[in-house]
Amino acid sequence: MSTEFFKNIGKIKYEGRESDNPLAFKWYDEDRVVAGKPLKEHMRFAVAYWHTLVNKGGDPFGAPTETLPWDKSEDAITRAKDKMDAAFEFITKLGVPYYCFHDIDIVDEAPTLSEFEKRMHTMTDYAKQKQQETGVKLLWGTSNLFSNPRYMNGASTNPNFDVVAYASAQAKIALDATMTLDGENYVFWGGREGYMSLLNTDMKREQDHLAQFLTMCKDYARKNGFKGNFFIEPKPMEPTKHQYDYDAATSIGFINKYGLQDDFKLNIEVNHATLAGHTFQHELQVAANEGLLGSIDANRGDYQNGWDTDQFPIDIYEITESMLVLLETGGLQGGGINFDAKVRRNSTDLDDKFIAHIAGMDAFARGLICADHVLKNTNYKKLRTERYASFDNGDGAKFEKGDLSLEDLSKIANSKGEPQQISGKQELYEQIIANAY
Ligand code: XUL
Ligand code: CO
């Protein structure tokens, strides 16, 4: 029997909207059917290992604030096993079906690559057993190719080939771990795949190298039977000044340019969208329009400052708009909703981690329920469809089909004269969303 780390917390239950118990769901009734399927199937929630089990609240201005009871042993493997016991206890008590990890979240790096690989084998065996015991599954694995100082000039985009080779070897270990654990997807977030200064950077060469690296990883995993999706996670900056996977549109251009469209989709993160000067819903829509909306990293930024704060999602209005995109475009392809979010540095109780996830899960459930209500019981869809009615027949329909020339349009415009002014009715749409709660 492993140690119980979250001692005063039992299985989190759904108690409904009237409950004032902070350790119960108010909206996330996992079996409630919304838009044709249970909430748990829409959401496929995941716990992010790095924020909830690893992060101790250090920031550039101060030391860690949290003492994690599973982070005590002097021995790397014992410490990793304790951490994994805590992870599976947390995930099963919360009732979340998935988790996500970076290789070095699972176990510390070792002095050599081969020792690290050995550690990873030990820990994937341990994780496999834990998954079998609990039914918890791996939504995605990834490789941390940005924290170690060796990656200060980039990983696969490093100007030094030796670093590129090292990064590739590390990615191979993480791909192996993901496959051993039947991971459903694999993520590439290129934290340092970008530049700090264009002066010392051959951008085209670096982007070619990034594509080469992604292609090799994909080929290796496919050859070894991996059937899941590869996701690129866009972010415009931080830690680099400029990250190559800047936003959804840039990443789609990259995917198409390098012929990766059959295997790669996007993992859209809220705070990355806002850092890029977009809304979350904009990024979802851009990805969905291309058939590439794979997965979500759920969090939120602080809208008064401009960095990646990774706060837990709580903004129902933003989430409702986003869930509208999700419902209208057919949902996530292969992915789920991973809480890439951390409790604040001064939230130091162990139950804060539960409270944060519960509030985030409730916010997403509530947003989805509201979005479903908007689609089913309001004028929202009809209003938007009717805005484009002039293209449904006549010359508008001919234009859409490509049956009119510029001269034809000139004739039409001259005969019709000044177009009628038609209101965009933005406030009406906003009222509909605001009244859905
Ligand atoms: C960093 C970030 C990463 C990725 C995985 O901003 O979002 O945690 O999700 O590497
Ligand atoms: Co993320």
pLDDT at site 305: 86
Coarse DSSP helix, strand, coil percentages of the chain, rounded to the nearest 5 percent:
50, 10, 40
| Whole-number Å distance between alpha carbons of 264 and 215 | 10
Distance CA 4, CA 43 (A): 28
Cis ω for the linkage preceding 64 (within 30 of 0): no
* Residue to substitute in 51, 105, 139, 235 for testing ligand 1 pocket (most ligand atoms within 8 angstroms of CB): 235
The whole-number pLDDT of residue 306 equals 85
What is the H or E stretch that residue 140 is in?
A: strand 137-142
pLDDT at position 1, please? Answer: 63
The pTM of the whole model exceeds 0.85: yes
Cα–ligand 2 centroid distance for 297 (angstroms):
5
DSSP category for residue 227: -
Q: Which amino acid is at 79?
A: R
Q: Which residue has the tokens 């869809």?
A: 381
What tokens were used for 190?
């290129």
Ligand lying nearest the CA atom of residue 269: 2
Instruction: Decide: 140 in ligand 1 pocket, CB within 6 A.
Output: no
- Token match 């030094």: residue? 160
- From residue 302, how far is each of 12, 248, 315 by CA, in Å? 28, 21, 11
Question: Can you name the residues that pair with 266 across neighbouring β-strands?
Answer: 232, 293
310 lines ligand 1 (CB under 6 A): no
Residue with the nearest Cα to atom 3 of ligand 1?
A: 189
Cβ-contact 366, 437 below 8 angstroms: yes
Pair type for strands 98-102 and 185-188: unpaired
Q: Is the CB of 340 under 6 A from ligand 1?
A: yes
338 and 295 in contact (C-beta within 8 Å)? yes
Virtual CA dihedral for 232, 236, 239, 240, nearest 10 degrees? 100
* Three-state secondary-structure class, residue 144: coil
188 within ligand 1 shell (Cβ under 6 A): no
What are the two backbone dihedrals, phi and then psi, of residue 392, each rounded to the nearest 5 degrees?
-80, -30
Encoded tokens for 423: 């209101």
How many of the other CB atoms lie within 10 Å of CB of 252?
A: 22
Q: How far is the CA of 34 from the centre of ligand 2 (A)?
A: 27
Q: How far is the CA of 11 from the centre of ligand 1 (A)?
A: 28
Cβ–ligand 1 distance for 297 under 6 Å, the answer: yes
CA distances (Å), 277 to each of 234, 271, 325, in order?
Answer: 13, 10, 18
Q: Is 17 helix (H, G, I), strand (E, B) or coil?
A: coil
Residue nearest to atom 7 of ligand 1 (CA): 340
Q: Which two tokens stand for residue 89?
A: 């206890």
> pLDDT in tens for each of the 437 residues of the chain?
689 999 999 999 999 999 999 999 999 999 999 999 999 999 999 999 999 999 999 999 999 999 999 999 999 999 999 999 999 999 999 999 999 999 999 999 999 999 999 999 999 999 999 999 999 999 999 999 999 999 999 999 999 999 999 999 999 999 999 999 999 999 999 999 999 999 999 999 999 999 999 999 999 999 999 999 999 999 999 999 999 999 999 999 999 999 999 999 999 999 999 999 999 999 999 999 999 999 999 999 998 988 899 999 999 999 999 999 999 999 999 999 999 999 999 999 999 999 999 999 999 999 999 999 999 999 999 999 999 999 999 999 999 999 999 999 999 999 999 999 999 999 999 999 999 97
- Which pLDDT score is estimated for 2? 81
Longest Cα–Cα distance in the chain: 84
Residue positions counted in the chain: 437
User: Which residues form the catalytic set?
Assistant: 102, 105
- Cα distances (Å, whole numbers) of residue 38 to 19, 35, 184, 354: 21, 8, 20, 22
Helices (H), 95-140: 103-106, 113-134
